[in-house]
Amino acid sequence: MACPLCSVSLNDIVWQDGSCRVIFADDPDYPGYCRVVWGEHVAEMSDLTPGEQRHILDVTLAVERALRALMNPDKINLASLGNKVAHLHWHVIARFTDDRHFPEAIWGREQRLGLPRPRPGRAALAQRIADELARIAAIH
């Protein structure tokens, strides 16, 4: 079976570098739901070198900060599961107390009808991610 994270459409990519990419998840209930996908097909964080591990975490945190700045969510959820798709990726999900599943995980039991929210603009999100990564790089 082909890996859905290896064959991502260019239209889904928000930001990328030579190691990983950020994509919007296709979930209308969670417009601030992104995935940070490692470029090479590996399954676990421990498959990466320490520098690569730091990089994917830096990108994941940059996405978190960008979503917080653009969407002002009540909470950000971070998850790295890989049970269905064994290709290393992090879920970064902007959460609101009135979304469909809060306080459950988005894969949990539905709590209510969620209120619609706009997806952050691709260009604005990409710029915020780049700005956050530049800030992180200046610290290191």
> What does the pLDDT look like over 28-74, one tens digit per residue?
899 999 999 999 999 999 999 999 999 999 999 999 999 999 999 99
Model pLDDT, residue 100:
95
- Tens digit of pLDDT for each residue in 78-121? 999 988 888 999 999 999 999 999 999 999 999 999 888 999 99
Global pTM value:
0.93
pLDDT higher than 90, residue 9: no
pLDDT confidence of 19, banded at 50, 70, 90? very high
pLDDT higher than 70, residue 4: yes
pLDDT confidence of 1, banded at 50, 70, 90? low
Model pLDDT, residue 11:
73
Instruction: Tell me the three state secondary structure of residue 79.
Output: strand
Question: Domains, the chain, ranges and CATH?
Answer: 10-139 (3.30.428.10)
Question: Cis ω on the peptide bond leading into residue 118 (within 30° of 0)?
Answer: no
The one-letter amino acid at 58? D
What Å distances lie between residue 40 and 19, 46, 87, 136, CA to CA? 8, 13, 8, 23
